[in-house]
Structure 1
Amino acid sequence: MSQPSSSARSRDTRILLAFASVYLFWGSTYLAIHVAGEHLPVPVVAACRSLLSTALIILICFFTGRSMRVPKGEGWRLALAGLLFMSANNMLLTWGEKMVPSGFAALVVCSTPIMIGIIEVLMVMSGRSGEPLNKRGWAGTLIGMAGIAVLVLPSIRAELAHKGIAGYSNPTRGVIVLLGAAIAFATGSVFSRRCRFQADTLVATGWQIGSAGLFNLCIALVSGGFHRAAWTWQGATSIVYLSIFGSLFGLVAFTYLLQNVAVTKVSTYAFVNPMIAVLLGFLILHERMVRAQLLGMGIIVAGVAMVVFSRLDLGKREIVGTSGQAVE
């Protein structure tokens, strides 16, 4: 058998680094979003986060000689993807975490891969091309969902034992809002995959975040969010972290993965992110880990593995054709 070429190994390394970035950085944003939302209005958080990320991307492109121009016809598609990722999803997630605990939010948001699978199935049924999960993929998705449930069930049970979710109002509305966030992100993921953007990954990310930032700014101004904002170092630091690691690094890595890996595999971030959030809570906030949570993490890893390898036959490697379409 021929050995993998250096370009193939380099691509594999980039994909692994991109997965690690999405898993780690987006997993840590649950805490940062919660802190930012406690101190600042939701539209202000979304606007400042997006605009700061856009400014950083423009500076990087300037110093590296990249042009911010994109191929004809891609601008509005990038803008639409940005509105789904960084406006609808981001604001709904921040709003939802005001009404339910972050662990509960993670449980709801982890339905994103299921929604992606359903969207893909609906596209196939309507006569369009799609990437529906096979039996192993669906099994892995359901196992991952079960792992998330085991992971957060102890904290949810403790909260419900005190006549509802203590310290939070309107938990039912919060679940509905978080489901909307998951639907927005699932739609954006499938849409981005279909568009097969030709623009440079960093430039494409800048267009997405910048378009969302302008929209979020308009919402913040119209709603009077800046007048109600009480700036604190915790809120400001959280926005900076979300801008650099959540939006810039995270979305650049995510955009790269969508163009090089099947969307059903990219969606495994929804299983790993809550696990990262719990680990950071344990290490930074000194939250106690129970055996059920450790068991949940093990189940999640098993589910992720099943989804990742669900579209690979034994002895074959997934490759990407010249158009960016994942083929086997």
Structure 2
Amino acid sequence: MMSLQTLNFKSIFALLALYIGWGSTYMAIALALECFPPFMLAGIRFILAGLIFFLWSLWKGIQFPKREEMLKICLAGFLLLFLGSGSVVWVEQYLSSGLTSIVWASLPIWLVAMDRKRWKFYLSNLKLISGLLLGLLGVILLFADKELIRVIENGTLLAFMIAIFGVVCFAFGSLYSKNISCKSTTIFIVAVQMIFVGVLSLIISLSLGEKFISHPGSSILNSILGLLYLIIVGSLIAYFSYLWLLNVLPPTTVGTYTYVNPAIAILLGWWLLNENITNPKILALILIFIGVFMVNYYKTKIPKGKPGQLEYKNHICTK
């Protein structure tokens, strides 16, 4: 299977940042939305996180990309952060975090469907495809409580469709970002994308007349803490890890974080909040982790390419 010699601990740490970090941001978004309107929240979050990375890049004297590369970086950021991650913030005004996580669990499927160059590679790996479908089934079982029916009854079908659109844009942006040829570092790329999307979000926020909300029952402190958590964990750590992982792992492996995120939420609720875990949820968790294991550790034969080309075998990553 996999030996310790083939383990890439940077990749494992980055995957854990996605699994745990982004798994907990759904709740942070819900807290922040109590006082921050969606576009204002996205603007503040991305600009502050982007400036931190940008100042770090200046301090390190990182080379600026060319104009053509900057345009490609901004387009990738628009797809990933504005249309992708931004849709999560907007739809959570109308959908629960649980249902939103179900929609995003389809991300690995979209990545396979859009990655035409690797169709032959994907379809030749029965374990990989089976792992993707098994993980998706596990996520659906976690929230099999007729919530989809309530979405239609409550008139929030539009939000549900926008959530799906956001996932599709995120998948397309992931593949587009993976194929961008840029001499700059991942930190600077993340900085440019976040500042661009943050400014765009604030412009839309001002045009819509969004205002900071403070009403009875809302907690300003919790909202600010939620915003800080989104900046530090959701943006600085997890998003940087995501873009970095796209350069060293197959997109389907990186996308498995959408399976683990809801499972992490369930386990944290059981551990910290004494929430009950039913037998169907236990089965769902088992299916999710088996699916992720199959995606990460399938065996395949890949022809060797040019020197320096990545080869994905029966371990996480060798480079």
User: What is the TM-score normalised by the length of structure 2?
Assistant: 0.85
Q: Secondary structure at the match of 1:69?
A: coil
Distance in 1, matches of 2:196 and 2:167, equals: 20
The one-letter amino acid paired with 1:34 is A
Q: C-alpha displacement at 1:35, in angstroms?
A: 1.4
User: Unaligned regions of 5+ residues in structure 1, if any?
Assistant: none
| Deviation by residue 1:20-55 (Cα, 9 ceiling, x = unmatched) | 111111111111112122322110111111011012
| Deviation by residue 1:49-108 (Cα, 9 ceiling, x = unmatched) | 101101221233344x24261255321111111111111112211122222221111111
Change (3 A) 1:296 1:51: same
Distance in 1, matches of 2:232 and 2:87, equals: 20
Q: C-alpha displacement at 1:327, in angstroms?
A: 5.6
Query: In the alignment, which of 137, 140, 150 is matched to residue 164 of structure 1?
Result: 150
The one-letter amino acid paired with 2:141 is V
Change (3 A) 1:46 1:284: farther
Residues 249-328 of structure 1: matches in 2 within 5 Å? Answer: 249-310=237-298, 312-313=299-300, 322=308, 325-326=310-311
The one-letter amino acid paired with 1:309 is Y
| Deviation by residue 1:204-247 (Cα, 9 ceiling, x = unmatched) | 1111212111111111111112x354482221111111011101
Distance in 2, matches of 1:319 and 1:276, equals: 37
User: Unaligned regions of 5+ residues in structure 2, if any?
Assistant: 314-319
1:184 aligns with 2:169: yes
Residues 116-155 of structure 1: matches in 2 within 5 Å? Answer: 116-121=111-116, 132-133=122-123, 134-153=125-144
- Whether the 8 Å CA contact 1:99–1:170 is kept in 2: the answer is no
Match of 1:78 in 2: 73
Match of 2:102 in 1: 107
Distance in 2, matches of 1:208 and 1:198, equals: 16
Match of 1:217 in 2: 202
The one-letter amino acid paired with 1:313 is T
Match of 1:235 in 2: 223
- Whether the 8 Å CA contact 2:62–2:184 is kept in 1: the answer is no
Q: C-alpha displacement at 1:16, in angstroms?
A: 1.0
Change (3 A) 1:20 1:143: same
Change (3 A) 1:263 1:218: same
Query: In the alignment, which of 19, 24, 31 is matched to residue 23 of structure 1?
Result: 19
Query: In the alignment, which of 27, 52, 56 is matched to residue 60 of structure 1?
Result: 56
The one-letter amino acid paired with 1:14 is K
Q: What is the count of residue pairs matched by the alignment?
A: 306
- Whether the 8 Å CA contact 1:99–1:173 is kept in 2: the answer is no
Query: In the alignment, which of 90, 93, 97 is matched to residue 88 of structure 2?
Result: 93
The one-letter amino acid paired with 1:164 is R
- Whether the 8 Å CA contact 2:45–2:230 is kept in 1: the answer is yes
Q: Secondary structure at the match of 2:276?
A: coil
Q: C-alpha displacement at 1:319, in angstroms?
A: 9.9
Change (3 A) 1:261 1:320: farther
The one-letter amino acid paired with 1:177 is I
- Whether the 8 Å CA contact 1:46–1:90 is kept in 2: the answer is no
The one-letter amino acid paired with 2:89 is T
Distance in 1, matches of 2:98 and 2:56, equals: 35
- Whether the 8 Å CA contact 1:148–1:300 is kept in 2: the answer is yes
Match of 1:175 in 2: 160
